Amino acid sequence: MKVIVGFLRIFVGVLFIISGLIKLNDPVGFSFKLGDYFAPDVLNLEFLVPYALLIAVVVVIYEVLLGVMLILGYAKKFTLWSLLIMIVGFTFLTFYSAYFNKVTDCGCFGDALPLVPWESFIKDVVLLVMIIILFIGRKHLWPFFTKMSRTIIVFVSFVLCLLLGMHVLEHLPVKDFRAYAVGKNIKEGMAFPEDAPKPIFDYHWKFEVDGKEQIITTQGDYPKVEGAFIEVETIETQKGYEPPVHDFSMERNGEDYTDTLLNEPNLLMVLAYSLDNTEHNGYANIKEATDRAIEKNYKVIGMSASSQEETEKLKERHGLNFDFYFCDMTTLKTIVRSNPGLVMLENGTITQKLHFNDAAELTLENLPARPKVLEPKEVETLIDSVQVMVNTIE
């Protein structure tokens, strides 16, 4: 038991530290995941949604500290009870997600190691067993160092976690594990390899044969049955390949500009996934950066999931000199953890990504003047004007 407890205190402690630090690297992303759990169709705790970010920061810092405290043997009874309560809560959430298929990724290790719900649940069950063993063998959980040394290490760990949390909230994650990290190409991320596995479906055909219901299962072919067809139920038995970048689009006035804009050599995007809770105090920095970009002949656009009417009001309020395009909110949240934020594209490849606090650090070059590109409405107006001239001459 002494050897088992000695091994488990290190293993569980390190695992909690790693898991907490990965989430602390991106607390905004973890808060989005908590928001999914708080949704009406999941746990129905909507009153907690405004506090999701605060809860996320507290939980991940506490998770890291529990790992440190377990390894040190600090406040043994408090640490073990806290670990037990936390892992029971996590196990309940992952089981709920897996059984009811409500939240498809628990966010245990952030975007660094996405886990499907049943994988997350099994991981938590194993951890629960380990923590119960630690609880049973707690008399072998001897402390390391002196009491004062342990207290100082825990306090320093707490301060470092706070500093890291403040840094990533005021800027961006230190390490970006997402498909939209700097250096990633969006077009390549959207592509399907030729050998990509395709989804497999079972078709359960229901017929009435000789007055009795009969179900025949195929992989798509209509069965040859002498009877009256009633209905068919389709069930996906194997998921197909899903590209890392999906639901990405650039739409305006009902037109899709995705292909055109992803081939732009110098495209600066201002991302504001929702204008309901955007940080208006950040637009002074955004305007300064975008005005510099426009002056240096970069193409600048906005990206938002809000309506065009709302984006026009935002432009007027902050004096922005560019148009907004529509994109899925979840996609925009994934691209940059700042509302608003800046993303520079070079033919679809992300070359820069900045929080609005760091907009002044945007690197820009002096580019040749851009050729005038007419909008569809301008083209229609020009054609009408030419037609009027032709009619007048005739």
Least confident of 85-94, 147-156, 334-343, 373-382: 373-382
Classify each residue of 64-91 as buried b or exposed e, where b means 16 or more C-beta atoms within 10 Å of its C-beta. bbbbbbbbbbbbbeebbebbeebbeebb
230 neighbors 207 (Cβ within 8 angstroms): yes
pLDDT band at 239, cuts 50/70/90?
confident
pLDDT tens per residue across span 131-188: 999 999 999 999 999 999 999 999 999 999 999 999 999 999 999 999 999 999 999 9
212 and 337 inside one domain: no
302 neighbors 322 (Cβ within 8 angstroms): yes
Tell me if 12 is assigned to some domain.
yes
246 neighbors 190 (Cβ within 8 angstroms): yes
- Provide the pLDDT for residue 324: 96
- Which amino acid is it at 238? Q
Tell me if 332 is assigned to some domain.
yes
16 and 149 inside one domain: yes
- 326 C-beta neighbours (distance < 10 Å), count: 21
Tell me if 175 is assigned to some domain.
no
- Provide the pLDDT for residue 261: 95
Domain that holds residue 309: 251-377
232 and 256 inside one domain: no
Number of domains into which the chain is organized: 3
Check pLDDT > 90 for residue 306: yes
Tell me if 246 is assigned to some domain.
no
Tell me if 191 is assigned to some domain.
no
pLDDT band at 94, cuts 50/70/90?
confident
- Provide the pLDDT for residue 106: 61
Mean of per-residue pLDDT scores for the chain:
90
Least Cα distance to 37 among 121, 116, 96 occurs for 96
Tell me if 148 is assigned to some domain.
yes
210 and 347 inside one domain: no
103 and 56 inside one domain: yes
Quote the CA–CA distance of 179 and 197 in Å, as a whole number.
20
Non-local (6+) Cβ contacts of 235 within 8 A are 201, 202, 204
pTM of the model: 0.82
pLDDT tens per residue across span 19-41: 999 999 999 999 998 998 898 88
Tell me if 184 is assigned to some domain.
no
138 and 270 inside one domain: no
Check pLDDT > 70 for residue 379: no
144 and 255 inside one domain: no
| CATH number of the domain within which 327 lies | 3.40.30.10
Structure tokens at 275: 């204008």
Tell me if 259 is assigned to some domain.
yes
- Provide the pLDDT for residue 376: 60
Q: Region 328-342: what's the mean pLDDT?
A: 95
165 and 29 inside one domain: yes
pLDDT tens per residue across span 8-20: 999 999 999 999 9
31 and 70 inside one domain: yes
Check pLDDT > 80 for residue 114: no
Final residue belonging to a domain, choices 152, 170, 188: 170
- Provide the pLDDT for residue 227: 85
Least Cα distance to 110 among 56, 177, 42, 38 occurs for 177
222 and 135 inside one domain: no
pLDDT tens per residue across span 43-69: 889 999 999 999 999 999 999 999 999
- Provide the pLDDT for residue 240: 81
Residue 295 burial (CB < 10 Å; 0-12/13-18/19+)?
Answer: exposed
18 and 47 inside one domain: yes
Token pair 């005739």 is at which residue? 394
225 and 257 inside one domain: no
Question: 108 vs 46, which has greater pLDDT?
Answer: 46
